[in-house]
Chain A
Amino acid sequence: MNHAGITAPAAHQEAATVRPFLPPVLRVFLQLVLASLIVWRYGVEGDAFLRIFVLATFGFIVNAALPRTYRLPFFVALSVAGIGLVFNPIDGAWLLISGLILIGLASLPASMGVRATLLIGVAALLVAARAGWAPVPWSPAVWPILGSMFMFRLALYLLSVKSQAPDQRVWWSLAYFFMLPNLVFPLFPVVDYQTFRRTYYDRDEREIHDRGLLWIARGLVHLLLYRIVYHTVVGDAKAIVTLGDLAQFMLGTFLLYLRVSGQFHLIVGLLHLFGFRLPETHKLYYLAHSFTELWRRINIYWTEFMMKTVFYPTYFAVKQRGPSSAFVIATTAVFLTTWILHSYQWFWLRGGFPITAQDTLFWAILGGLVVVGGLRELQAGKKPKAAPQFFNPRQGLRAAATFSCFCALWSLWSIESVSLWVWLMGAIVNVDLKGVILVGGALLTITILGGTDWSALRRTPPRAVLVFREPAVRALALLVSLLALSPPGLRAAAPVPIAGALQAMHTSGLNARDLANQHRGYYEQLDVRAQLDAPVAAGGRKPDPGWQDLSELDVLQHRRDLLIRDLRPSRSTTWNGNRFSTNHWGMRDREYAEAKPPATLRIAVLGPSHVMGNGVGDGETFESLVEERWNRDVPAPYRSIEILNFAVDGYSLPQQLAILEDRVFRFAPDLVIATHYSSNIEMTEGFLLRVATESFAVTEPELRALLASGGLLDIGGNGLPIPFVWARRLAGAAGVPARMPFGEAESRARRLTNAVLEASFERLARMTRERGIAAAVLALNVVLDDVPPVPFRASIDRAGLPVFDLFDVFPEARRPSLRVSLWDDHPNADGHRLIAERLLPELRAFIGSGAIERARARTAE
């Protein structure tokens, strides 16, 4: 959109071009049923949202049938019914009671000072409770919604309540705070109370409903696009090497805001169904031509809230200094307040009050850009309206520049640390084809779309698309398209990249990066509604207070070598209700002699926690079960089977190799089984980082060479954290002691991980081959929600290692009952029995194939 115009046709004029074939209310209702189907098929925003959406769909038809006087009370009744659908009775009652108390205090027939003082007193009590200093009778699920309803709107209500019209005053107050969509969307637009009242059914009903429906459809599109971006576009920041990786990460990070814009479209669209004609939200924000315009478009509600409560009061207080100075002071006040209020919002939605360096930098830079842009706008008048022009290249380039800067800024806000962000910028010089295509394509797209005068196009649309000017038709087209894309058969038949995108549209959980890193951007972390959806999520996954981590027991000992830690020998303790014992060799196993008994098949198992047996008692681990069952029917020429468990909690593959070299070979195993699992990548990354940052002695030459090639050898020490080797050298030359920042070390470790894992498989094969020992890889995860492919399968095959693939050992329907607990994904005793049942026949077949004899023969040759 080039600039504001006043001749664009209104929606009701557009509507007149198409003859309705159904009564409008019935048509909107049927489209809402269609939208409900989409919410259900894709699992959009969880079960609680589906319940609220269906309630709104049927509520809409009742509301439309009621006389206008009864509609506001009906909306309040619907919201109260919604509380019953989302919360359990106790939580719901407390939410209602707390809200009524706050509204009552704000509406008292007393002076503003008295009401504000009373509210501050109650707020102080709530702050203490939210911070965990005082008990509350409700569950943690209530906080985000209660906070969202009152944290900002109470201030706007206080400012406006004095001048509010007397008609239906109580209903207005209740409707304003208990807005139906707010029950499932804690991140909610800061709706102005006066606007809320002023725009209520202030236009033709049909126009308001159609507009709302269109925004609901748009919101669904935004949210499903967000899923594609989240699951397929945003990569791991630490894995960025080239310009292409960097461009993909930055584009993806900014596009993640589709989540917020989608939610806001749904919220405002739903409110339209009940007559609240609130302002359009997130209008073409990716195509803004300047930072001031982006600031207005990206969240008009927040902008208006800040204008009303901070900007205008500050501006008028200092306007005697002149318009430009007053503007700079008032805008600075706005961004300072926004920065603080984002942490305040975080406090109510998630608890805690984070102030991070990247947060501070983001708001400072954005504020500075808006000040500069605003001053330019203040000093320059608007240019005369040009003749109708569908494309303005200058505007397009401005949009592309704004988009690029904001991509960079947004990635800074979303990343874990400033030093990591600075380090990532180094990837700009590694130009690759993907980078050229992504950067060029994105800039070209934004230039074309941003330079197009959409209002001019709307004024004179081609005849073929005339029908699409009507919001109801546009909404229907979007909804039908989404429904058409939902059948599982379509995913199965589609080419791989499209199938991946379609699959992502149905995936609601965390992506692999976030699962591994547990770090997400500001808005992703504020998505706390999952607390309401399932007991397994968020609060439900919080361990019981008495739950113990292994590190709390005197079982683990720390080492300053590549093992990093191992188990203390001859310990026996109770761990979360299970007996946990180690033998005198430091294995979580029964006692074995070092010398292998005659005619015994001895197998050494290496692995992490789920092999060691977190969450199960002694003798319940799968290796113990396999050993016991196999010994009932020992294959010739053996008389007994021994399976020695060398697994240790937290072991990555390199640590498994380290323990293999340190102690396993002296037990003369016939077969060594190393365990490979999905998070082996992240565990190996953590291992490399630990080895590098804590300066462990790395004597193994191959790993040492790899660490050196990745710049991770000898990085420890004190000094100023400065990214890039050349910058540290410069600092060193200037006499400033410098060290590698943690973010850079993390990124380097991530880049090195694949090579280290590939080399580890090769090394496992080589070490065992040299000793005439058979080796294999056990692919086994904890009880995950899905069955991913085995990572690095090609590398394992190249190394000649056979694989016992047990990634699918836990049947989907039984997974919840196979976990140790809601908050612990390790397999429980039943899970270990299942593993043993699958592994034993595979092992029998492997031994029966003569693998042990072949390995011995290779050495002899």
Chain B
Amino acid sequence: MNTVEASLESTREVIKAFILQNFLPGEDARNLTDETELKESGVLDSMSTLKLVTFLEERFHIDLEAGDLDAANLSSVASIARLVEQKTKAR
């Protein structure tokens, strides 16, 4: 695993932990994979999206915009991590 992959992995774990703690309390962590569909399963609705945005901005020191909140960017832990990585690089 190179540095980039390690960083992505770390980002994924942070996001996963936040989602489990805030939106799926009590859920078995093994059920939330990197590719679990978050929008369609109802885990991420408009309210939880706002909480997630606030968390991502504070935790990773990035600025998100309205256009970043496409369904494609928020569909899974992996896609959110990719968005964070892009924003971090562009900082």
A residues touching B (Cβ–Cβ < 8 Å)? 3-8, 192, 194-195, 198, 279, 292, 296, 303-304, 307-308, 311-313, 315-316, 323, 327, 374, 377-378, 381-386
A sample of 11 cross-chain residue pairs with beta-carbon separation below 8 angstroms, ordered by A number, consists of A4-B24, A6-B27, A6-B43, A7-B28, A8-B41, A316-B64, A374-B46, A374-B47, A378-B47, A382-B25, A385-B27
Q: Mark B13-26, 1 if CB is under 8 A from A, else 0.
A: 00000000011111
A198 touches B71 (CB 8 A): yes
> Which residues of A lie under 8 Å from residue B36 when comparing CB positions?
6
> Which residues of B lie under 8 Å from residue A7 when comparing CB positions?
27-28, 31
> Which residues of B lie under 8 Å from residue A327 when comparing CB positions?
50
A315 touches B23 (CB 8 A): no
B32 touches A6 (CB 8 A): yes
Other A-B pairs beyond A5-B42, A327-B50, 7, CB < 8 Å: A3-B42, A4-B41, A6-B31, A7-B31, A312-B66, A313-B66, A385-B27
- Is B51 at the interface (CB under 8 A from chain A)? yes
Contact of A279 among B31, B40, B43 (CB under 8 A): B40
A194 touches B70 (CB 8 A): yes
> Which residues of A lie under 8 Å from residue B31 when comparing CB positions?
6-7
The interface on chain B, measured as residues whose beta carbon lies within 8 A of the other chain's beta carbons, has a size of 27
Residue of B nearest to A327 (CB): B50
> Which residues of B lie under 8 Å from residue A312 when comparing CB positions?
66, 69
Q: How far, in angstroms, from A304 to B49 measured CA to CA in the complex? A: 12
**A315-B66, A378-B51 as given contacts; A6 in contact with B26, CB under 8 Å:** no
Q: How far, in angstroms, from A279 to B42 measured CA to CA in the complex? A: 11
A296 touches B45 (CB 8 A): yes
B72 touches A194 (CB 8 A): yes
Contact of A198 among B41, B47, B72 (CB under 8 A): B72
B26 touches A4 (CB 8 A): no
> Which residues of B lie under 8 Å from residue A316 when comparing CB positions?
64-66
A194 touches B66 (CB 8 A): no
**A316-B64, A327-B50 as given contacts; A381 in contact with B22, CB under 8 Å:** yes
B25 touches A4 (CB 8 A): no
Q: How far, in angstroms, from A3 to B54 measured CA to CA in the complex? A: 22
Q: Distance in Å from the Cβ of B42 to the closest Cβ of chain A?
A: 3
Q: Distance in Å from the Cβ of A128 to the closest Cβ of chain B?
A: 33
Contact of B25 among A292, A296, A385 (CB under 8 A): A385
A5 touches B27 (CB 8 A): yes
Q: How far, in angstroms, from A247 to B7 measured CA to CA in the complex? A: 59
Q: How far, in angstroms, from A303 to B65 measured CA to CA in the complex? A: 19
Residue of A nearest to B66 (CB): A312
> Which residues of B lie under 8 Å from residue A384 when comparing CB positions?
25-26
Q: How far, in angstroms, from A719 to B13 measured CA to CA in the complex? A: 68
B41 touches A311 (CB 8 A): no
A6 touches B66 (CB 8 A): no
Contact of B71 among A5, A195, A303, A381 (CB under 8 A): A195
B26 touches A386 (CB 8 A): yes
Q: Distance in Å from the Cβ of A556 to the closest Cβ of chain B?
A: 59
